[in-house]
Each structure stands twice: as structure tokens, then as C-alpha cells.
Amino acid sequence: MRLFVALNLEFSSLMFLSNNSTLVRAISGNLQSKEIIGIVSDIRSISSGFAFVSFLHFLAKVALQAHLSV
């Protein structure tokens, strides 16, 4: 739903970070997963309304552990 909010606010570019590498690879076109094909199709369709969209895999646990170690 955040994609819809960003579209309504007329954002031209977005960067999404996700812990789900399977989803990020599927959206980026590097992986076909039958289980999430509908979700990926919807995300790609909505994303086409932006000039620039980036989906990145982000390891939140690793980042948090690194932050807590400092």
C-alpha cells in the first residue's frame, strides 16, 4: 500500500529496502517464483507509475548487530 501512497503524493522516485531477498530478486526480474507471482506482478504494475524505483535487499539483522557492536 505504500506504493499507492507514494503515487498519490506524486513522488517521482522511490527506494525500497526489504529483508526478503526472494521478493527483491523476483521484482528485479532475476527470479521466477510461482508462490509470489501475483504480488510481483502487482508491484511491477504500480511501480511503472514512477520515473525511478529501486528494490534492494537489506539485511536488517546484520545492520542492527553492527550498530549495537559500536
Q: What is the pTM of this model?
A: 0.69
The architecture (CATH level 2) of 2-69 comes to: 2-Layer Sandwich (3.30)
Neighbours of 9 (CB within 10 A): 7
Better pLDDT: 67 or 35: 35
Residue 51, pLDDT score: 93
Sorting pLDDT into bands at 50, 70 and 90, what band is 67?
Answer: low
